[in-house]
Amino acid sequence: MHPTQKLDSITRSGTDEFSRILRRAQAERRLPSVTASVFRGDDVVWSGTVGLADVDGAVEATPETQYRIGSITKTFTAVAIMQLRDAGKLALDDSLGVHVPESAHPQPTLRGLLTHLSGLQREPPGEIWETLRAPTREELLEQLGEAEQVLPAGSHWHYSNLAFALLGEVVERVSGSPYREYMDERLLGPVGLTRTTWAPTEPRARGYFVEPYSDTVRREPDLETWGVGAAGQLWSTTPDLCRWGRFLSDPDPAVLRPETATEMHEFQVMADPETWQLGWGLGIELFRRGDRVFGGHTGAMPGFIASLSYSRRERIGSAVLTNNGSPPPGDPTGLLLTEKAVELLLPETEPWRAGPPAPEEIAPLLGRWWSEGHEFVFRYRNGRLEAVFAGAPPSTPPAGFAPDGADRFRTVSGRERGELLRVVRDERGDVVKLYWATYPFTREPTTFG
């Protein structure tokens, strides 16, 4: 095994935990090789590899070995769509037909494509996985009449590579640049992803099929996805994917607005309605483990499985790449590493420091208020008005308010986001009542009406 770590950031026992997870995954899942990196903030604090990137040549994997990342490419396509939305060049509720009028099924919205609620068939027309030849852009557009709308748009979550291929076409048409050129200039370059490319560059892993009833491996072919590359073409390394995870957690505002990144991670649809373990944002997978939700995405191509997961709150996460396409999707190794990283790498609690007094228009609102028999606490923290249930755990996200005129505030985060908070004063100018989302709040508990 080839580990690297920053021992000033993580204890030796912590690196041993990461190594054990990686070794167990390599052995139990029979991976020719596996490479992983863990990040906190701007730093990759640990990397490790086990096995051979090239079995025939007996070439060991390193953190700089490239692997196919498959559908993690979709997160890049999603960011491009959001960039164009922020630039005013499209709207998420535009129908596909607005931008690709020749589509046989123009009804799904761009939001539906991003969240796999389009109802479009899973793959582009044709037997790509048997012929090992994906359509060119021109062929894809010619074949759109053959694509099926297998479910009503918006009715059910249904994973669709075709949907993301069409989002790539939207990026190309709206931006006026070829899709890959746009991505290189607006994302890969600005984020500094020097080892993330559309075609493999050495050192690279070879993809393998591991025989189910023996320990023999067979080479898988490299599938060039041509005109559907927006759904899964990229190659990358674990350090580069960690850089991408950090970006999605806390983006450079010159590349993507931070509030847009937050929007992308907001829940849109439940992909797993039985156990509620897997949801979807705008092009982002949302993994629930206990009381915590991680962002990221998984990917699979012939001979390769990839995983990126992170906690945005702590900016801690991991990337895992393997060159065995046989393990089932949903391999838990990446999430195990991320959960362990959050446990081991949580930053020290910042000391509390006294701050300035609340502004005179906010000071009379502070304290306890009652509504519907529930007690709320309105407080001034970090330069803004907030509200929480009385007695809520300290980790409970508060509702945050921003001024919206005289005696008016708009809820900008948390509970009742978007709703108005209105202040009522008596003839002397004293605050006697609040209306939040039209519900009355009084200083003493009272009945409705």
Q: Running DSSP on this structure, what letter comes out for residue 324?
A: B
Domains in the chain, start-ordered, CATH in brackets?
4-345 (3.40.710.10), 363-441 (2.40.128.50)
Which residues is 298 bridged to in the sheet? 307
Contact 318, 306 (CB under 8 A): no
Mean pLDDT per 10-residue section of the chain, whose length is 449 residues: 51 82 95 97 96 97 97 98 98 98 95 98 86 86 93 96 98 97 98 97 97 94 88 97 98 97 97 94 96 94 96 95 79 91 85 92 97 95 96 89 97 95 97 97 90
Question: What is the rounded distance in angstroms from the CA atom of residue 317 to the CA atom of residue 294?
Answer: 9
- The pLDDT, as a whole number, for residue 210 is 95
Question: What is the rounded distance in angstroms from the CA atom of residue 365 to the CA atom of residue 380?
Answer: 9
Question: What is the rounded distance in angstroms from the CA atom of residue 102 to the CA atom of residue 205?
Answer: 39
Question: What is the rounded distance in angstroms from the CA atom of residue 76 to the CA atom of residue 277?
Answer: 23
Structural element, H or E, at residue 144: none
- The pLDDT, as a whole number, for residue 7 is 42
Cα 191 to its chain centre, rounded Å, is: 16
Contact 35, 17 (CB under 8 A): no
Question: What is the rounded distance in angstroms from the CA atom of residue 326 to the CA atom of residue 210?
Answer: 6
- The pLDDT, as a whole number, for residue 291 is 84
Give the CA distances from residue 408 to residues 79, 402, 420, 422, 437, in Å, rounded to whole numbers and listed in that order.
34, 9, 7, 5, 12
